[in-house]
Amino acid sequence: MGEAVNGPRTFPNHIYHDQLNNNQGGNHIGREIVRSCDPTVLDTLALTMTKSNGTRSHYSLRNGLVAPKWHKTMGCCAFIISSVLYSLKRFGSYITKKVSWPLMFITLMMSIFMFTLFTDFIPFNRIVYSKDADNSAKGFIPLKGNTQSDRSALHLRRDVYGSDPKITLPLPRASTSSFNALSANGSQQGKAIKRFPACIVFGVSKCGTKAVIEYLKLHPHVVAPRSEINFFNNETLQHQHGLDWYIQQMPPSLDHQITVEKSPDYFQNHLCADLIRAAAPATKLILLLREPIERLVSEYMQLSEKRPGLPEFDKWVIGQDTGDVDQRVPSVMVSAYSEHVSYWLSVFPREQIHIIESQSLRDYPLQEMRRVEKFLNLQPFFQPDDFYYNSTRGFYCMRMRFSGKTQCLGKSKGREHITVSQSIMEKLQNFYQPYNNKLKQILSLDFPWL
């Protein structure tokens, strides 16, 4: 929801010097970034890029779009010259009698081209640049719009959340009304509006994320979209629609309510961590973890229903050329939790991430959901009568408090799993053990399978 602020804040400028690897061509480009954090003016950045051969190019960042300074100079000169020549030619000036029309046309086209290079009409795929985290080139959401209201929205977001020293390039901007919804004191009194999620359930797939979001929907102070949005791991949505579109996918909420979104595939996509942090650094996160092999088998069962031609489990997880666990299978590496958890913890502070063990949620939903309530600063709501054990399905279901109706999760939940051979089980256990040891060290938690 964000921290309420009584007045504008003043933030210091940040100057970072570092090396960033350019994957295109292998050059190392040094960036010197100076950011003005005065919330009363639009951000201005000076960007100096030094290639490995020693050449330096000076850039200025304006409204989220980058253009070399020499482009500005040449563009202005070309535009002015072509305009003057065209005017003189049009009125038959003696000076331009020998200037041909093709030359005039080429000059005019070149001036228009150069002019667009330093205006706001061309989308620019920018970079999230971090002082502390791993500095690797990453695509980012291009800004949309160039109106003053779009620009001021960025300052409203900083007013609410404060300065973020990890992000040194401009953040994505939505309309002012959308970012008003981020602020505890910016929403309209008594009116339901769409807001950026206060909490995101970001993983892990096949660990009970569906159960958590359905349980949370029982709470009168929680609203959630009907389906997964998957915005921060979808470049097409980011570039074509922008952050405004994402906020519009959320259900309206009142001042006393929070919005919670679930997209479990964010977990293994590290870029999602940077994008969420850039959009709303105060966002709280919920992560569910399950015994790695159980999770892998569960995902295999789901995939096999969708892909009839999928190989048998043993052949799917074991490389035929090596005889070892095949790390090229994405699902295998999703269960290597420590590789992903360590990155998310490098982007978000530990206190913003609530971790739930999948089996504990399955066996003790009331206790786990009360912990979630406390994490989200929600008023206590969940009671024992909200959950009942369904012996047919083998897990707890929900009971609607006011209507008395019951609701269980989909038919896919609680499905029977295949039996994994002892030899394959041992290979998987040996493979995941180092990751589990590292995870235990990172989280200081003691799950039964750690």
Element (H, E) at 286: strand 284-289
- The CA distance from 323 to 314, in Å, is 10
DSSP 3-state of 386:
helix
Alpha-helical regions (H) of 187-282: 209-217, 235-240, 242-248, 270-279
Helix (H) or strand (E) holding 298, with range, is helix 292-306
The rounded distance, in Å, linking the Cα atoms of 397 and 393 is 9
Q: For the sheet containing 353-357, what is the strand order?
A: 222-223, 258-262, 199-203, 284-289, 353-357
Strand-pair category, 387-390 with 258-262: unpaired
Closest by Cα among 155, 132, 96, 174 to 18: 132
- Token couple for 87: 């005017």
**Interaxial angle between packed helices 292-306 and 422-443, expressed in degrees from 0 to 180 and rounded to the nearest 10:** 120
List, by residue number, the catalytic residues: 206
For residue 396, say whether it is annotated as part of any ligand binding site.
Answer: yes
298 annotated ligand-binding residue: yes
Give me the half-sphere count of Cα atoms (radius 13 Å) on the Cβ side of residue 331: 20
Q: Residue 415, annotated ligand binder?
A: yes
- Beta-sheet strands, E only, within 64-135: 65-68
417 is in an annotated binding site: yes
* Residues 6+ positions from 86 with CB-CB distance below 8 Å: 104, 108
The token pair that represents 325 in the structure block: 């666990």
Query: What one-letter code names the amino acid at 425?
Result: M
| Contacts of the segment 438-447: beta carbons below 8 A, 24+ positions apart | 438/338, 438/342, 439/289, 439/337, 439/338, 439/341, 442/338, 442/341, 442/342, 442/345, 443/341, 443/355, 445/355, 445/357, 447/289, 447/357
CA dist., res. 323 & res. 320, Å (int): 6
Helix (H, G, I), strand (E, B) or coil at 362: helix
SS3 state of residue 449: coil
Binding residues for 3'-phosphoadenylyl sulfate: 290, 298, 396, 413-417
> From the annotation, which residues make up the binding site?
290, 298, 396, 413-417
